[in-house]
Chain A
């Protein structure tokens, strides 16, 4: 079967669906049907690419030339498919959850909400399947613009300020990406993502290389939430919770770390990274981000903000894994994309369910809520323990690989960072569980569990976290896929 148009269709399906969503603005049920339909079709299309990806094959498609010699080209390689499966799969759950959420809390401008959401997913899959940096820039900026209406959704002062902050960070990042790509094009004459990098043929002065790398770091570091350029992410929590769940725990921020992987593994290449000592910068930044973000998370009483800082920390797990430049570390980092996605989306879903059901956002108000929302808090416990790295939840598994990867590279400090961070995670998550389960609550008599539209996705994502932790290869051979991807990045020298 010819699959060459599948990546394009996977991108377009959620872009096209915007039109029927807009047109059925006055019929909410029909409108949401479109969203669900697009989500299912998109996931199906991405799954069609998976068997090929597991065999290490890529599906390439050249569309038009965006500039002489620089085509708008898609390449669904294993790494891209890995990311696309996660993003599009979780979109299905988020769509159901969104319906429960926006109706439960009576949000305004729901059409704009669902339309922007669909565009965001198009951009995310586009990022996953971009074959070169120029195509990547196109979708990266598209994601920036499409997320903006979601960040400012509530249109209150706080939301608008968050939107401005978001744009200031991400547009600057986009420009740095343009500058970095222009430099890469100038020196190498190509912008194609190539396993092992495109700098292998080129000998550049150390400073030039460093400048290009720093530009890239600024460009992808913003969306990847690397400190000190993470500031937009906690602010963007002003967005409705499903947005925080899918975009600020999966799609947008994972696009950032995905970009880190692309830059490290496919633009510079692990050898060049090591030769020029560029990975040290990444290790230092991501290591300190992990610790600092966890510490800041302690100080947050707002549940979503605490989760946001937790996200900042965990994104840097992935960056750290990539920066170790060891096959196991890379595998761990790639696995953590999936692991953190299922866990953090569960936690955000829970936060949203609590908000819609009980109208509570502050952790200090969560006393005793496990009694009325047992399923939600049960899922929350799973997600929290997973992020703290407690087996058998999938967070343990990726962290285990990260630690092995550090040892493989004879690096001790990353191991310490990971262990300490695990303790800090326990430290900032367990008070929440303690309050919810063991402290007597007040004023909860008239409340029950949230709407099934929200609870069912919560339970499923929590269950996925456990299942992936127990059997990493249960679905789609995900672990093997990650191992293979990381192998292609390291074995470029020998055929």
Chain B
């Protein structure tokens, strides 16, 4: 039965293509992007298949080499990992379709390394999400991180510095996580997540376990850009090339958020997490501060990519806040936001890329109303994505906030509810500011006839992924009841 091999197949697809790309790329550079699209396409289809399998037959556990844990390593394709895998691989597929042109124009000499590294990074991400082994997770984390550092370094002049900074902070984070895993191993004697879940209640209040939990949350918090460990993110996202940012921004922090979900809700469970100290509440408060801080900083930015980067800090906060609520509605809201934010951010970074492609910059202060004539469809996509980010119905972004709000009310957590509402307003400030610039004459500059501007939309390979992602926000808005129905079943309690 091939279905039982799906988890491994998804990961191996990326591994295979990460080697095929250099092999074919040396022969013909133009082959790199189609291969990447093919690879991620296969992975996306397999992920979808796997998710359908999960819905029909339950979780898939794959034992490598037939060695059952605790001796061997397993991949687990359950609801949580399946959903994340589906989201990241589908979004990556669209980003790879999109990335061809910007990659060739921004770093023509490094196209082959870019795609090879991107495939490796995807392998890392997929491995992190699917593995059932805490140490194995660290290995994949490092694969993803190392290729991620390299991808970020391919970019503007400041990119290597941003990547180096990320490398230092990220490695520290990874090490803290590893330290936490070590503590857990000494206490429980196993690295398998399912085994450990069964054993942890016995040791829940031992200092080593509590320390391990905190170390892991902090370590992964760095990767998830949880406030105040977000420092690496704005520079990295701003200076990295369009294709890298569009790939890493929607996916990277989500995978880290996945690990937090796995650790807090599955491995420990919310009772054990909060057994000694109200850790989940502290994480939630940090997330709230991140939400407000990210939004306020986003308002202060004039560079579109930088603004979007700060907005990412804010949006990841929503996800982690939903996690910290630890009730079904909050969980559904957070998971829906994983999907929504992945699509919105991919779409918005693509739009920033489109503008860079045509204008050579993405400085908001230079935007004017000729854009709506020159790039009508990019701007229409931007309007949809922006309104979804602000959270107006019937677009997808509204519904994740709606469930999160219901989740906060279920916990009677009025502080978090207020944060959700205030942050929506802040989002409106920085997005409507841009819409104003793009759709209206600048009253200070006087008349500059937009009629002079010619239609100059980006090429189809960039145009379609942007538009499809924007339209999917409307579709998800109307289909969210079905998605949330599935998500509510995934919730572990």
Contact = CB atoms under 8 A, between A and B. Distances in A.
A179 B484 contact: no
B428 interface: yes
Nearest to B410: A186
Contact of A174 (B392, B402, B406, B439): B392
A29 B441 CA distance: 26
Contact of A163 (B402, B424, B436, B478): B436
Contact of A160 (B399, B403, B436): B436
A68 B421 contact: no
B428 A178 contact: no
Given A175-B421, A178-B421, A179-B421, A67 B403 contact: yes
Interface string A452-469: 000000000000000000
Contacts of B428: 167, 171
Nearest to A63: B478
Interface of A is mostly: helix
A67 B421 contact: no
A181 to B, nearest CB: 9
A66 B478 contact: yes
Interface in B429-486: 432, 436, 439-441, 443-444, 478-482, 484-485
Contact of B417 (A65, A168, A179): A179
Contact of B387 (A72, A138, A145): A145
Nearest to A183: B409
Contacts of B485: 68
A156 B484 CA distance: 44
Nearest to B480: A67
In this complex, the interface size class of chain A, counting residues with CB under 8 Å from chain B, is 35 or more
Contact of B484 (A68, A137, A164, A176): A68
B393 interface: yes
A152 interface: yes
Interface residues of B, number: 34
Contacts of A142: 392-393
A178 B405 contact: yes
Interface in A157-210: 157, 160, 163-164, 167-168, 171-172, 174-176, 178-179, 182-183, 185-186
Given A160-B436, A186-B409, A175 B480 contact: no
B402 A182 contact: yes
Contacts of A362: none
A486 to B, nearest CB: 30
Contact of B406 (A156, A171, A182): A182
Contacts of B421: 175-176, 178-179
Among A134, A141, A156, A185, find the residue whose CB has the most chain B CB atoms closer than 10 A. Answer: A141
B182 interface: no
Contacts of A66: 393-394, 399, 478, 480-481
Contact of B405 (A141, A157, A167, A179): A179
Interface string A64-98: 11111010100000000000000000000000000
Contacts of B405: 178-179, 182
B488 interface: yes
Contact of A175 (B424, B443, B479): B424
B390 interface: yes
Contact of A65 (B394, B401, B410, B481): B481
B393 A157 contact: no
Contacts of A242: none
A175 B419 CA distance: 11
A168 B410 CA distance: 28
Contacts of B399: 66-67
A174 B391 CA distance: 10
A178 B402 contact: yes
Given A178-B405, A182-B409, A155 B441 contact: yes
A155 B441 CA distance: 6
A64 B392 contact: no
A485 B398 CA distance: 33
A186 B410 CA distance: 7
Contact of B432 (A167, A174, A186): A167
Contacts of B168: none
Nearest to B393: A138
A156 to B, nearest CB: 5
Nearest to B407: A182
B55 interface: no
Nearest to B404: A182
B52 interface: no
A458 B485 CA distance: 53
A139 to B, nearest CB: 9
Interface of B: 387, 390, 392-394, 398-399, 401-403, 405-406, 409-410, 417, 421, 424-425, 428, 432, 436, 439-441, 443-444, 478-482, 484-485, 488
Given A72-B478, A160-B440, 6 more contacts: A66-B478, A157-B444, A168-B425, A171-B390, A175-B424, A186-B406
15 contacts: A64-B478, A64-B481, A67-B399, A67-B403, A68-B481, A68-B485, A72-B478, A141-B393, A152-B436, A152-B440, A155-B443, A167-B428, A179-B417, A185-B406, A186-B409
Interface of A: 64-68, 70, 72, 134, 137-138, 141-142, 144-145, 149, 152, 155-157, 160, 163-164, 167-168, 171-172, 174-176, 178-179, 182-183, 185-186
Q: Give the 6 A-B CB pairs with smallest separation, nearest first.
A: A65-B481, A138-B393, A141-B392, A157-B443, A186-B409, A175-B421
